[in-house]
């Protein structure tokens, strides 16, 4: 029997790599294995939205993804080649990343693996999980090594990030409930020339079917076309994509050489639990959704961020083990919300009746004209609205904080230097943080209050004073009066201490050590 690993991560795609980086960055030894011997030659996911970029900054990789990727400024909608409306990401004012990044998944994986190596990790390729027992005080696994040798391994915790056909999920005895949608997608990456915007994701709807175009590099787009079920197993040609693009896209677009071509079936599935015993599921191992909207990998990245800080805190002794129960409790409802949205978008794009098309087009135009598209849809596309607020949480008042426990706060996460003049409050994300917000008018004795809180907190959390600005997204989120916000390592609000003092803040932090689920209401 080999030595016990604190965490064994199965699967070295983007989700597994991010979890491994999260843990290694906080001093947790990780073993990461992958049955494949190399990265996939095909690009699968191609777009990283703003919220995952915020969280990837915690592991020091967001900015290099931005540097290597292609900036996407928004999402445009067309019907019969006529523009309906655009949801602009570059008009979002509550994120340090008001854009998406187009980047082929294999390149994303390369950059994540570089960061893994910098943190002292290495992917063991060609190592396959044969069996797993996660029911005891430690997880026990049997691994098939590349040279044909079998190894017995133990780990305190196992993370299954091994995709839709997850061996971890099967070994845990968890089903994968759901169904296949009555639509397939033909996809390729190809150079496009013509009038299609190079910095927008474009959805082009017609009575004959939909077309999605997403930039992945300068001049190169992911092309996705809804095709009937009988197209499964075929390899669409350049001529096929050119015909569809000519019929459905605006601007006389020409399709260049295809980098690959395939057809895949659309499944919507979810495990009934994302945890069993000492093992967890993340990404496609836990859930599958329609590719409409490009949310699949991004949702898995949010899984990784949610699980990573909790496992690290438990291993370090900073958090009670009961905190791990919140992973399934938080992520499954959040995943189901995204799944419903992407399934709706798939059906929305498949409408063909004249009356249905007229209603859809009128609704999109009206949403664009009135600003609803920008206020509601743009943040949702960027996954900025994904949070863990309890259904019974209080509603925001006119004068009080807009944010409720469980909500994402507009912060700069990670330890990289803040750009000069940036208006963002920064928390490192290595532990809980106490964010001290003076409100619109600095209360008398505020400096003394802050000093007392710092002394009481000690090394239990970092203490950060919010920028003294009466305007801006953070001030709007926290309200007009002085508060102490207890912030989780993933940037979500844990609790609001509305009468901040040394005792009340320390009490809230002690509670956070025992339960990750946010306080429902103010402390």
Counted residue by residue, the chain has a size of 523
In the chain, the N- to C-terminal Cα span, in Å, equals: 48
pLDDT, position 42 = 54
Please report, for the chain, the start and end positions of each structural domain, with discontinuous segments joined by +: 4-46+104-176+271-347, 178-267, 412-514
pLDDT class of 433 with cuts at 50, 70, 90:
very high
According to CATH, the superfamily of the domain at 178-267 is D-Amino Acid Oxidase, subunit A, domain 2 (3.30.9.10)
Q: What is the pTM of this model?
A: 0.94
Instruction: Give me the mean pLDDT over the 118-132 stretch.
Output: 97
Q: Residue 288 and residue 165: Cα distance in Å, rounded?
A: 11
Question: Where does residue 414 rank: exposed (0-12), middle (13-18), buried (19+ CB within 10 A)?
Answer: buried
pLDDT, position 15 = 97
Instruction: Name residue, tokens 């004249």.
Output: 354
Q: At what angle do helices 14-24 and 105-118 cross, to 10 degrees?
A: 20
pLDDT, position 441 = 83
pLDDT class of 395 with cuts at 50, 70, 90:
low
pLDDT class of 521 with cuts at 50, 70, 90:
very low
Token output for 394 = 């209080």
Q: At what angle do helices 325-349 and 296-316 cross, to 10 degrees?
A: 180
Contacts of 47 (CB under 8 A, 6+ apart): 72, 100, 101, 102, 103, 201, 214, 294, 298
Same fold, 4-46+104-176+271-347 and 412-514: no
How many other C-beta atoms lie within 10 A of the C-beta of residue 228? 10
Q: Residue 32 and residue 372: Cα distance in Å, rounded?
A: 44
Q: Residue 260 and residue 16: Cα distance in Å, rounded?
A: 25
Q: Tens digit of pLDDT for each residue in 239-248?
A: 999 999 999 9
Q: Tens digit of pLDDT for each residue in 134-177?
A: 999 999 999 999 988 999 999 999 999 999 999 999 999 999 99
pLDDT class of 419 with cuts at 50, 70, 90:
low
Question: Where does residue 517 rank: exposed (0-12), middle (13-18), buried (19+ CB within 10 A)?
Answer: middle
Nearest C-alpha neighbor of 274 from the set 262, 287, 260: 287
Q: Residue 285 and residue 303: Cα distance in Å, rounded?
A: 11
Q: At what angle do helices 446-457 and 502-514 cross, to 10 degrees?
A: 40
Query: For the chain, what is the mean pLDDT?
Result: 91
Q: Residue 92 and residue 109: Cα distance in Å, rounded?
A: 27
Q: Residue 165 and residue 146: Cα distance in Å, rounded?
A: 20
Nearest C-alpha neighbor of 158 from the set 333, 331, 11: 11
One-letter-per-residue 3-state SS of 341-386: HHHHHHHHHCCCCHHHHHHHHHHHHHHHHHCHHHHHHHHHHCCCCC
3-state secondary structure of 459: helix
Contact 487/435 with Cβ under 8 angstroms?
yes
Q: Tens digit of pLDDT for each residue in 190-207?
A: 999 988 899 999 999 988
Q: Residue 498 and residue 357: Cα distance in Å, rounded?
A: 49
Min mean pLDDT across 27-31, 355-359, 366-370, 494-498 is at 355-359
Question: Is residue 431 over pLDDT 70?
Answer: yes
pLDDT, position 241 = 96
Strands 279-281 and 82-88: unpaired
According to CATH, the superfamily of the domain at 4-46+104-176+271-347 is FAD/NAD(P)-binding domain (3.50.50.60)
Question: Where does residue 173 rank: exposed (0-12), middle (13-18), buried (19+ CB within 10 A)?
Answer: exposed
Give 223's strand partners: 188, 213
Q: Residue 153 and residue 140: Cα distance in Å, rounded?
A: 6
Nearest C-alpha neighbor of 393 from the set 377, 405, 402, 382: 405
Question: Is residue 397 over pLDDT 90?
Answer: no
Q: Residue 313 and residue 513: Cα distance in Å, rounded?
A: 9
Question: Where does residue 201 rank: exposed (0-12), middle (13-18), buried (19+ CB within 10 A)?
Answer: buried
Nearest C-alpha neighbor of 174 from the set 322, 298, 299, 273: 273
pLDDT class of 502 with cuts at 50, 70, 90:
very high
Contacts of 214 (CB under 8 A, 6+ apart): 46, 47, 72, 102, 201, 202, 221, 222, 224, 294
Token output for 11 = 């699967």
The CATH class of the 412-514 domain is alpha beta
Q: What is the dihedral of CA 315, 316, 320, 326, to 10 degrees?
A: -60
Token output for 288 = 């599958």
């Amino acid at each position: 029997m080999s030595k016990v690993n604190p965490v064994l991560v199965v699967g070295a795609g983007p989700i597994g790599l991010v979890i491994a980086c999260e843990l290694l960055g906080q001093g947790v030894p990780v073993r990461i294995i992958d049955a494949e011997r190399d990265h996939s030659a095909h690009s699968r996911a191609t777009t990283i939205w703003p919220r995952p970029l915020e969280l990837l900054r915690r592991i020091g990789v967001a900015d290099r993804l931005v540097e290597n990727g292609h900036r996407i400024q928004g999402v445009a909608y067309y019907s019969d080649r006529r523009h309906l409306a655009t949801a602009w990401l570059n008009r979002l004012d509550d994120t340090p990343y008001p854009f998406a990044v187009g980047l082929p998944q294999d390149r994303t994986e390369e950059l994540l693996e570089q960061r893994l190596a910098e943190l002292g990790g290495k992917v063991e390729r060609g190592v396959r999980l044969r069996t797993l027992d996660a029911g005891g005080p430690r997880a026990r696994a049997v691994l098939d090594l590349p040279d044909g040798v079998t190894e017995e391994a133990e780990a305190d915790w196992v993370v299954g990030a091994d995709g839709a056909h997850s061996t971890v999920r099967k070994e845990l005895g968890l089903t994968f409930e759901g169904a296949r949608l009555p639509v397939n997608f033909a996809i390729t990456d190809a150079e496009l020339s013509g009038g299609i915007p190079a910095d927008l994701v474009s959805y082009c709807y017609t009575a004959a079917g939909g077309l999605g175009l997403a930039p992945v590099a300068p001049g190169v787009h992911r092309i996705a076309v809804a095709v009937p079920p009988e197209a499964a197993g075929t390899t669409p040609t350049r001529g096929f994509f050119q015909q569809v693009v000519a019929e459905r896209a605006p601007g006389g677009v020409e399709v260049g050489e295809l980098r690959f071509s395939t057809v895949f079936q659309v499944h919507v599935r979810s495990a009934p639990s994302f945890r069993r015993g000492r093992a967890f599921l993340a990404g496609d191992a836990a859930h599958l959704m329609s590719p409409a909207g490009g949310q699949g990998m991004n949702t898995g990245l949010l899984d990784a961020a949610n699980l990573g800080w909790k496992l690290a805190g438990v291993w370090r002794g900073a958090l009670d083990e009961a905190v791990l129960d919140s992973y399934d409790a938080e992520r499954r409802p959040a995943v189901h919300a995204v799944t419903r949205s992407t399934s709706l978008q798939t059906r929305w794009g498949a409408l063909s009746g004249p009356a249905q098309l007229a209603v859809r087009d009128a609704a999109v135009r009206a949403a664009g004209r009135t600003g609803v598209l920008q206020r509601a849809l743009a943040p949702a596309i960027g996954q900025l609205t994904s949070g863990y607020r309890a259904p019974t949480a209080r509603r925001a008042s006119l004068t009080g904080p807009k944010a409720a426990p469980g909500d994402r706060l507009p912060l700069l996460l990670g330890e990289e230097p803040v750009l000069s003049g940036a208006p963002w409050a920064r928390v490192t994300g290595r532990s809980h943080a106490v964010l001290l917000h003076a409100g619109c008018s600095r209360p008398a004795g505020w400096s003394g209050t802050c000093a007392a809180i710092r002394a009481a907190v000690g090394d239990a959390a970092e203490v950060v004073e919010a920028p003294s600005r009466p305007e801006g997204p953070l001030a709007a989120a926290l309200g007009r009066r002085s508060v102490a916000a207890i912030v989780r390592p993933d940037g979500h609000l844990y609790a609001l201490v509305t009468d901040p003092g040394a005792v009340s803040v320390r009490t809230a932090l002690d509670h956070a050590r025992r339960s990750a689920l946010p306080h429902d209401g103010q402390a």
